[in-house]
Structure 1
Amino acid sequence: MTRYCAFFESLIVGGDRLSMADLRYAFAREELENAETVISSGNVLFDYEDRPTEGLEDLLAYLMRDRFDMGAFVAVRNRAEIRAAVEENPFVGSEDTFVHSVLLERQPTKQQFGRLVGDHGSIGAERLALGDRCLFVDFGGPMSESPLTMAFIEKRLGSRGAARNVRTLARIVAKM
């Protein structure tokens, strides 16, 4: 069995939308074992047979639609992939609460990344770099105050994503 983390975007676990007990039950029915939320409610650790994480993303997207009528995007990564999202981020070491890795559903082309950088230049001072199915962003301040939104990023990259700061990702790696 391999330990994975599902990073849900726009999902409230434990609130009014979805209980952890219901989520654990749904994971168990799909043979996704030992499900537990970690750090914040949109991160779920679980065990499953070793397989490419893209297939698990499809499975969890189906599970959320089928069981809960929710269309939440989910990025799934194993421990090595999460560690890479921290260690390969060129902005780590500045104010890490403002440094994020956006876990993407697919690898953008160089042209898509170029469009993002070009279009972004007119709206903000955030620093951007491209990784493996990952966009590295130094927001230089709170992400919520940035003009660089997930909708802006996703439209230009042609890929949905789930953003987490590198401190959160490092804590998840340690927990795994």
Structure 2
Amino acid sequence: MTRYLALLGSINIGGNRVKMADLKAAFADEGVKDLETVAASGNLILTDSREPFLIEMQLEQILSARFGFKSCVMVRTQSEVQEAVDDNPFHGVGSDKMVHSIFLSDQPQPGRFEDFFEERKSKGDERLALGDRVLYLDYVHGVSASDITGKLLERRLGVRGTARNMNSLKNILGKMAA
């Protein structure tokens, strides 16, 4: 059995409102084991023996069937979450609230990130770097001051993703280690 973090995209933003207690109960009803929620933004720590992509598919199906909305789910091990903090080149340089690791459904096809990176050079102060199924992003002036959205990233990179800032990831890692 492996301890995983399931990152649910677009939870409690926009129209996708759900109480964490209801989310936890729905997943438990469907056999998800040893489940803990972290914050109210769709972070679930769970234990499972299956491959991450199978867990992702199951959780996405439950969200759709029980709550009526589509959400991307990214499942990562504790070491992968730790790497998303440690390998983020903006961590320790920018504000932990503004520096994000965006967990991607897959690695973008060659050239897509590079094209997006070049396009962004003249459009804002945000800083971008690509890791292994993670996009590192420093919003510099804040998320609300940027036009880089999840939908824009999905169109440009051709993969889905869900973001967490460094404060959230450090909190999650503390809970995963407990």
TM-score by length of 2: 0.88
* Residue matched to 2:159: 159
Please give the residue correspondences for 1:1-176 in structure 2 after superposition, counting only pairs within 5 Å.
1-12=1-12, 17-49=17-49, 51-94=50-93, 95-176=95-176
Gaps of at least 5 residues in structure 2 are none
Deviation of 1:92 after TM superposition, in Å, equals 0.9
Aligned partners of 2:174, 2:73: CA distance in 1, in Å? Answer: 21
Q: Is the 8 A contact 1:100 1:163 kept in 2?
A: yes
Query: CA separation of 1:91/1:36 partners in 2, compared to 1, >3 Å: closer, same or farther?
Result: same
Q: Tell me how many residue pairs correspond in the alignment.
A: 174
What's the CA shift for 1:146? 1.1
Distance in 2, Cα, partners of 1:16 & 1:57: 18
- Alignment partners' CA distance in 2, 1:83 and 1:151: 26
- Give 3-state SS (helix, strand or coil) of 2:111's partner: helix
Q: Offset of 1:40 from its aligned partner?
A: 3.4
Give the CA deviation at 1:16. Answer: 8.6
> Helix, strand or coil: the match of 2:41?
strand
Percent sequence identity is 42
Q: 1:16-73 CA deviation, whole Å, 9 max, x = no partner?
A: 9323333222212332113222133321222212x33222211211111122221012
Partner AA of 1:121 in structure 2: K
Q: Answer yes or no: is the 8 Å Cα contact 2:12–2:40 preserved in 1.
A: no
Contact 1:31 1:48 in 2 (8 A): no
TM-score by length of 1: 0.89
Consecutive unaligned residues in structure 1, runs of 5 or more: none
In 1, the alpha carbon distance for the partners of 2:17 and 2:149 equals 24
Instruction: Give the RMSD, CA atoms, in angstroms.
Output: 2.0
Q: Contact 1:64/1:72 (CA < 8 Å) preserved in 2?
A: yes
Secondary structure in 2 matching 1:96:
coil
Q: Distance in 2 between matches of 1:16 and 1:52?
A: 27
Change (3 A) 1:26 1:135: same
Distance 2:160 2:29 in 1: 26
Code of the aligned partner of 1:3: R
Greater CA drift, 144-153 or 155-164: 144-153
Q: How far is 1:110 from its partner?
A: 2.8
Q: 1:8 to 1:16 in 2, by over 3 A?
A: closer
The separation in 1 between residues aligned to 2:117 and 2:163, in whole angstroms, is 17
